[in-house]
């Protein structure tokens, strides 16, 4: 459907990104991610034909996109950019109706069919209730929906969106991102979108292009490209680590408090405790965790010390002894309401040992304030 071949994009003599090769079919979402100023918008504007390529070609259905007549292109491709638009005293309906321009007569008259498409486009983004409302009285999220409805009213096959979630709160970010997935699936659109929320991008994209230092540093299935080394490098991360299992970042442990906390947890019950302690700059040791435990993945991304056991193996005596040594050197022991089975029952013994050693012991189940000022 859409293909960029050896494309270089930029302004005047300034080449922002070069050597871009991308391909996207109908029903697919391509997410472009990268740090500020990497050239995501420049690439989108070039695909949208607002900018001429410095080099290379963009094809739409095998035709050079920059050679297409604007009216013909508008029937194939719709574009939603980031800029806050101010269309004056227009209703939602009037704004969505702009999307029908490639199809209307010289006077811009709307037929009954045009009106149906306008309403249907608003319905597709759950914005029918906004058709009568003044555009300038809408919230950012509502405006964004209307702008997407306007794009849909063009009945395009390709939809290009530049940071469509940038002014939205968490709820609307999620809603809009899911809407893009729905449009790809149900309207069979090819969607190219820039997003800053990598955790959402990972979950909806079919393909991902990571842009940095004037290049596409990784391109392909998100599940293939979103690897720790690649994502850490993309954002020059020093104080956090990307985790493939979590699909997001964890803060790296960087203790400054003069207290060592031994955490006994498992099965994800330690997630909040670990995050609280690392955020508050305590030294943390955690164990004994199996290498396939949810808490293991969090602790590993944080870089805290882990007493670890192989997956599906009973905790060994050696590991128990190692944990006990760490426990003896700790100031406080925190344990959670973790599930216990044959594999990890020695963790109960660790708690017993902590009692014998008269350690300060804190039990966490739901309320993190038990750790306040630990
Ligand atoms: N009209 C312009 N003329 C010249 N240079 C520009 C122009 N617009 C952007 N640039 C430069 O091109 C580079 C890429 O900008 P671009 O907006 O494409 O980045 P981006 O990845 O979309 O960033 P962000 O995440 O901040 O939106 C930046 O160095 C920017 O300063």
For 1-13, the pLDDT digits (tens) are 899 999 999 999 9
Name the more confident of 101 and 88.
Answer: 101
Ligand 1 atom closest to 44 (CA): 18
Tokens of 273: 């405790």
Substitution site in 12, 34, 38 for ligand 1 pocket (most atoms within 8 Å of beta carbon): 38
Q: What is the CA radius of gyration of the chain?
A: 27
Give the chain's domains with CATH numbers.
Answer: 2-238 (3.40.50.300), 249-371 (3.40.50.1220)
Give yes or no for residue 84 having a pLDDT over 70: no
Q: What is the pLDDT of residue 85?
A: 67
Contacts of 150 (CB under 8 A, 6+ apart): 78, 80, 95, 96, 98, 99, 121
Substitution site in 20, 36, 37 for ligand 1 pocket (most atoms within 8 Å of beta carbon): 37
Q: What is the pLDDT of residue 169?
A: 84
Length of the chain, in residues: 374
Contacts of 23 (CB under 8 A, 6+ apart): 2, 3, 4
Phi, psi of 124 (to 5 degrees): -60, -25
Average pLDDT, the chain: 93
Q: What is the pLDDT of residue 73?
A: 93
Substitution site in 12, 35, 41 for ligand 1 pocket (most atoms within 8 Å of beta carbon): 41
Contacts of 72 (CB under 8 A, 6+ apart): none
Q: Are 47 and 105 in contact (CB under 8 A)?
A: no
Phi, psi of 269 (to 5 degrees): -70, -15
CA distance 206 to 58: 20
Give 21 Cα–ligand 1 centroid separation in angstroms: 20
Whether the link from the prior residue into 288 is cis, omega within 30° of 0, is yes
Q: Is 125 helix (H, G, I), strand (E, B) or coil?
A: coil
Give 213 Cα–ligand 1 centroid separation in angstroms: 13
Give yes or no for residue 224 having a pLDDT over 80: yes
Q: What is the pLDDT of residue 108?
A: 78
Tokens of 137: 């009285």
Q: How many CB atoms lie within 10 A of CB 160?
A: 24
Give 283 Cα–ligand 1 centroid separation in angstroms: 41
CA distance 156 to 83: 21
Ligand 1 pocket residues where CB is under 6 Å:
11, 14, 16, 34, 36-42
What pTM, to 2 d.p., does this model score?
0.89
Q: What is the pLDDT of residue 282?
A: 97
Q: What is the pLDDT of residue 139?
A: 87
The string of pLDDT tens digits covering residues 290-346 is: 999 999 999 999 999 999 999 999 999 999 999 999 999 999 999 999 999 999 999
**ipTM value for the complex:** 0.97
Terminal C-alpha separation, the chain: 58
The string of pLDDT tens digits covering residues 243-278 is: 999 999 999 999 999 899 999 999 999 999 999 999
Give 40 Cα–ligand 1 centroid separation in angstroms: 8
Q: What is the pLDDT of residue 175?
A: 87
Q: How far is CA 365 from CA 12, 181, 294, 298, in A?
A: 60, 36, 16, 18
Give yes or no for residue 110 having a pLDDT over 80: yes
Reference 190, options 72, 99, 79, 116; nearest CA is 79
């Amino acid at each position: 459907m859409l293909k960029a071949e050896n494309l270089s994009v930029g302004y005047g003599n300034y080449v922002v990104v070069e050597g871009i090769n991308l391909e996207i079919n109908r029903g697919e979402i391509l997410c472009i991610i990268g740090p500020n100023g990497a050239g995501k918008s420049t690439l989108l504007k070039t695909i949208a034909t607002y900018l001429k390529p410095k080099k290379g070609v963009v094809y739409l259905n095998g035709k050079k996109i920059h050679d297409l007549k604007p009216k013909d292109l508008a029937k194939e491709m719709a574009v939603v950019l980031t800029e806050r638009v101010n269309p004056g005293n227009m209703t939602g309906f009037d704004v969505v109706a702009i999307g029908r321009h490639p199809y209307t007569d010289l006077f811009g008259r709307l037929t009954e069919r045009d009106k149906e498409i306008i309403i249907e486009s608003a319905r597709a983004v759950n914005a029918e209730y906004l058709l009568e409302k003044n555009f300038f009285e809408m919230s950012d999220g509502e405006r964004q929906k209307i702008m997407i409805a306007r794009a849909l009213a063009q009945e395009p096959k390709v939809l290009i969106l530049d940071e469509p979630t940038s002014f939205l709160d968490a709820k609307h970010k999620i809603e809009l991102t899911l809407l893009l997935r729905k449009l790809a699936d149900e309207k069979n659109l090819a969607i190219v979108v820039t997003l800053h929320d990598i955790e959402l991008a990972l979950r909806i994209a079919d393909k991902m292009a990571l842009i940095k230092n004037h290049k596409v540093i990784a391109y392909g299935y998100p599940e293939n490209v979103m690897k720790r080394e690649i994502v850490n490098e993309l954002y020059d991360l020093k104080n956090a680590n990307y985790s493939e299992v979590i699909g997001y970042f964890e803060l790296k442990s960087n203790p400054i408090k003069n207290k060592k906390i031994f955490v006994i947890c498992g099965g994800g019950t330690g997630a909040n405790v670990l995050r609280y302690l690392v955020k508050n700059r305590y030294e943390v040791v955690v164990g004994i965790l199996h290498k396939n435990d949810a808490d293991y993945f969090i602790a590993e991304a944080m870089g805290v010390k882990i007493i670890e056991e192989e997956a599906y193996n009973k905790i060994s005596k050696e590991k128990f002894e190692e944990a006990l040594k760490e426990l003896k050197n700790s100031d406080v022991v925190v344990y959670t309401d973790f599930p216990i089975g044959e594999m990890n029952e020695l963790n109960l013994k660790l708690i017993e040992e902590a009692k014998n050693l008269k350690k300060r012991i804190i039990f966490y189940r739901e309320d993190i304030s038990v750790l306040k000022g630990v």
